[in-house]
Amino acid sequence: MESDRELLPCRDDILAVRRRIASHIHITPVMSSETLNRMFHAQLYFKCENFQKAGAFKIRGATNAIVSLGAAGRLRGVATHSSGNHAQALALAARRQGIKAYIVMPENAPAVKVNAVKDYGGIIRFCPPTLQARESTLRAVIAETGASEIHPYNDYRIIAGQSTASAELLEHCGDLELLLAPVGGGGLLSGAILAARYFSPLTKVYGAEPAMADDAWRSFRSGSLVPSVNPQTVADGLRTSLGTLTFPVIMEGAEDILTVSEAGIIKAMVLIWERMKIVAEPSAAVPLAAVMEHPDVFYGKRTGIILSGGNADIRNLPL
Amino acid sequence: MESDRELLPCRDDILAVRRRIASHIHITPVMSSETLNRMFHAQLYFKCENFQKAGAFKIRGATNAIVSLGAAGRLRGVATHSSGNHAQALALAARRQGIKAYIVMPENAPAVKVNAVKDYGGIIRFCPPTLQARESTLRAVIAETGASEIHPYNDYRIIAGQSTASAELLEHCGDLELLLAPVGGGGLLSGAILAARYFSPLTKVYGAEPAMADDAWRSFRSGSLVPSVNPQTVADGLRTSLGTLTFPVIMEGAEDILTVSEAGIIKAMVLIWERMKIVAEPSAAVPLAAVMEHPDVFYGKRTGIILSGGNADIRNLPL
């Protein structure tokens, strides 16, 4: 893992990443809803990464990490531990480029997630459902195969990849006053901060986070990295804690972290489904929940929202 | 109600309707899914009327009927009996043009539907939940107010309005081999037939219908209008029977009517939600169910599908 601040992606890096990954991802649409705008007294522009390949923004970072590998690295493949959207994205991005992806998943992962990774050609290694087992299994896989670890967020190649979603949104909308992204490990939010800094410096960037997994809020307030311990939020994509690379970017560049209630997340998700007629997973509804629960911040503002993914299990919704 | 065949909308009528309603409706997007195309060995182009105003194609016909009123008719308003998408569409179309809409609804209609009509400014008259009571209440409202009845489908103004969805899809896609629309009362399917006849005469038009509400299939096979009696399909928008104006258009112009199972409708709806990440109501999934259950018809074919609406009750899904 690179930790040298000099390797923080610069403006030209992000422009280069956009070109490099262009043929591997969708340029997703930006949608608005008159009803939601009226309801919340704001102009909301949703960057629909639920329509992205593999159903979430994660394919952007995964693709960038893979295209950044050298010839020897490509031959040995990539590896990660994840049971979420990063696992699916890495498997799909690797398959598209003809390289192997080893995915370490807990043996109790839902069948729907295991099958999605298999469908995308990922090579699954099961392990006991503890963080320790996941990390030791991943180390064993890497020792055995020589694969490159692709961390889901604590990696500048990933952060630069995720920043392209915000760069596209800022370019599409012109002069956004606010930009709002959900925050779990912080890859997407760090990317949003860099994109705004380089391409729309007057845009203020906020993170939106479940109060039940408020490590980013606590870290931002205290100025030091405070991890979450076993958070139970319904927003399953946001249970991870900030990393050593994402925390400083967020500390320096975020306007604030806004926390939201579990009821607010569900309500916002249902609003997106019923009013916009699109499928958002709970984590992707966290920014709209922040608009609902922090109305003063957004009143009358042109606000970009990264609608991060649509991988909800329709038959098992948390309603 | 006009029943003179000479009043069947002609090519120029439909072009004129497109211009007349353009500022009142959305030009909805056309979406495709690589996954669904691979799964069904066809190229499917979905006209996303779930993103239409009031969540369904119905606003097209309702708007056209209202802009067709004279000054006196506008003053007196419009009336219909419906608890479905037509009621919401008529209420919204009327409000946009500053006229009154009287909506007769059964007193046991779901609160979510009653509230939607109220939100769009409709004036609701409740009645006992029988067809007879709905019709007699509607006649009383009309006698009292002088409002013009706007039937949900057995009206050439409505048929011409609905045809614009197909006209847009045919124009967008170029040379579609097949065009597929769900059939309830037959307004949407009649409109699809007219649009194909005038703007893409090589395109074959099919209707898709729940086997549990197969009045169109039986009418088409027998050559005479056979109404449905209290059908119970989950596709609640397709429980109505063909009308005296829609049946002859379908009899003459449809290639065939394809029936589908209830399980197929649910499976297709879940596929649309999970793979395309958009919200389709059960009725809108009936055409994809037809592609699933009649694969020989669609194999290798460029097929347009009218995805008719997205007004599903998320908290009460039939899964």
Q: Among B29, B274, B314, whose Cβ lies nearest the Cβ of A273?
A: B314
Q: Give the pTM.
A: 0.94
Quick one: average pLDDT of A287-299? 98
Least confident of A2-6, A191-195, B281-285, B312-316: A2-6
Q: Among A51, A279, A319, whose Cβ lies nearest the Cβ of B279?
A: A279
Shortest CA distance from A32: residue in chain B: B51
For residue B292, pLDDT over 90 is answered with yes
Confidence class of residue B318 from pLDDT cuts 50, 70 and 90?
A: confident
- Whole-number mean pLDDT of chain B? 95
B-chain CB neighbours of A270 within 8 Å are 314-315
Whether residues B277 and A279 touch (CB distance < 8 A) is answered with yes
Shortest CA distance from B50: residue in chain A: A277
For residue A4, pLDDT over 80 is answered with no
Q: Which residues of A touch B (CB under 8 A)?
A: 29, 50-51, 55, 270, 273-274, 277-279, 310, 314-315, 317, 319
- Whole-number mean pLDDT of chain A? 95
Cβ atoms of A253 and A197 within 8 Å: the answer is yes
Instruction: Quick: pLDDT tens for B160-179.
Output: 999 999 999 999 999 899 99
For residue B99, pLDDT over 70 is answered with yes
Shortest CA distance from B271: residue in chain A: A314
Shortest CA distance from B120: residue in chain A: A35
For residue A1, pLDDT over 70 is answered with no
Mutate to test the interface with A, among B277, B281, B307, B311 (most CBs of A within 10 A): B277
Share of chain B above pLDDT 70, in %: 98
Q: Among A29, A273, A317, whose Cβ lies nearest the Cβ of B279?
A: A273
- All structural domains of chain B, each given as residue ranges with its CATH number in brackets, are 4-56+155-307 (3.40.50.1100), 59-149 (3.40.50.1100)
Whether residues B273 and A51 touch (CB distance < 8 A) is answered with no
Q: Among A270, A278, A319, whose Cβ lies nearest the Cβ of B278?
A: A278
A-chain CB neighbours of B51 within 8 Å are 277
Q: Among A270, A310, A319, whose Cβ lies nearest the Cβ of B277?
A: A310
Instruction: Quick: pLDDT tens for B100-137.
Output: 999 999 998 888 889 999 999 999 999 998 889 999 99
Shortest CA distance from B51: residue in chain A: A277
